[in-house]
Amino acid sequence: MLMDTFLLSRLGKEDVIFGLPWLQKYNPDVNWRSGEIIFRPKRYIKIPHYGSIFDNEALEEIISRINIRAKMLVSQTMAHQVEQKERTFKELVPKYLHKFRAQFEDREAEHFPISWHYDHAIDLKPDFVTKDCKLYSLTVPEQCELDKFLEENLQKGYIWKSKSLNASLFFFVGKKEKGKLRPTQDYRRLNDGTIKNVYPLPLISDLIDKLRGATIFSKLDLCNRYNNVRIKDGDQWKAAFKTNRGLFEPTVMFFGLMNSPATFQAFMDDILSDFMAEGWCLVYMDDILIYSLKEQDLFLKLHKCEFNITEVIFLGLVIQPGTIGMDPVKLAGIEDWPAPETVMGVRSFTGSVNFYRKFIGRYAEIAKPLYDLTKKGVKFVWDDRCQSAFATLKQKFSKQPLLKIPDSSKPFVIEADASKWASGAVLQQKGEDGEWHPCGYISHAFDATERNYEIYNRELFAIVRALQTW
């Protein structure tokens, strides 16, 4: 008898998944065509084969009718990227998308973007004054990266030499990948003097709500991202940056410019407006659907795209049919977080976990000792209350709770409560199992005035705030 230890998880219709460590441990013979795993001496496990909707000849028509939400730029693990790069275009991309092969070609993506009415304008405030900046010394690796950056971008036409009277600092910051450097322009002074573009970015909660009923996803990674948009002619000098190799100005939009996100979101919303209106396409910045790329002169990174999957990571959330969860990579960072030793460390921790507060009941009340430490004039003392709050939050995140994607056509229940220090509420809805499942939590730490409310007013406050939120 074969016995082993397995981890419990929601696998849908699959009974078990054998990972690489298990296969390496037992080293069975695998018949991929018949779906059999054969052991020596003879023992075998039959793996049932499930048919796929994607075998249908009318696939493209089917996909448009099942409300597929093709989405999402995702941070993928290095191992997965290596595996993807070893596969060919025909292996990576479904047959019905082979006609879009040009949109996955690296060479095609290297051309200079066309000019149109989306070109990024840098509109300065009347009192803006041009100013020079100093140079920073570079390390040997940074100098090599600078030379490479300048050579590549001059060749592409993304930058050119400048005689601008305005200059911003150019430097490098470390990437998450060890030893990698990211070129960065310090546009803070320019941004302070720029008129803000108020075009809205989508609310993440609204995007998630639109995924109700979606069961199949495709995630795409756009080549060149912000560099797909030119800077408006005549405005390039405003974004000039200084290096020890000279002064340069960008001809395409870079990260760091204040209105870049708004410009790019407006650009994508306009391109994909028809698909968004039909209800099967979501857009957040450079996350787009393939069907409109060809005519819009946009291209995709083949080895960072995935198609026809039932679980996808979108903006730090794991999206599955009917539920959302937290990104396990980000959770691992929270679970391994050491106790903060400074106010900056506390702010770093609370800033990281705050993104997932909707998954945690009574978050504001639990985290109050930590937020109190960050208040102006408060001396940093890491006491038992702080340690307890820190440990409790880590423990709650370690449970990896799931939230139900709300269905607006079905009834909801709100449970709200208040203590002396905070209010909280949970939005719930019945699932197919007949049980009530949380769709989200909210919490609010009372200020000095609110703490003086009578208990019935604090509880009413919790109810009103829940209704305003949901």
Digit-coded pLDDT (tens) for 50-99:
444 333 333 343 333 322 222 222 233 334 444 445 567 777 777 767 77
Q: Above 60 in pLDDT, residue 238? A: yes
Distance (Å, rounded) from C-alpha 56 to C-alpha 54? 5
Residue the block writes with tokens 């004039």: 377
Distance (Å, rounded) from C-alpha 159 to C-alpha 153? 6
Task: Write down the CATH number for the domain with range 322-400.
Answer: 3.30.70
Distance (Å, rounded) from C-alpha 194 to C-alpha 208? 32
The confidence score (pLDDT) of residue 81 equals 46
Fold of 68-315: HIV Type 1 Reverse Transcriptase; Chain A, domain 1 (3.10.10)
CA 396 to chain centroid, in Å, comes to: 22
Distance (Å, rounded) from C-alpha 262 to C-alpha 252? 15
Query: Which of 77-81, 200-204, 244-248, 453-457 comes out lowest in average pLDDT?
Result: 77-81
Could you tell me how many residues make up the chain?
Answer: 470
What b-and-e string marks burial along 270-292, b requiring 16 or more CB atoms within 10 Å of the CB? ebbeebbeeebbbbbbbbbbbbb
CATH ID of 402-470, from 1.10.10.10, 3.40.50.300, 3.10.20.370, 3.40.50.880:
3.10.20.370
The confidence score (pLDDT) of residue 457 equals 95
Task: Retrieve residue 3's tokens.
Answer: 């016995």
Mean pLDDT of the chain: 80
The domains of the chain are located at: 1-50, 68-315, 322-400, 402-470
The radius of gyration computed from the CA coordinates of the chain, to the nearest angstrom, equals 26
User: Is the separation of the CB atoms in 337 and 248 below 8 Å?
Assistant: no
User: Is the separation of the CB atoms in 98 and 90 below 8 Å?
Assistant: yes
Query: pLDDT tens digit string along 436-450?
Result: 999 999 999 999 899
φ/ψ region of 272 (left if φ > 0, alpha if ψ in -120 to 50, else beta) reads alpha
| pLDDT class of 188 with cuts at 50, 70, 90 | very high
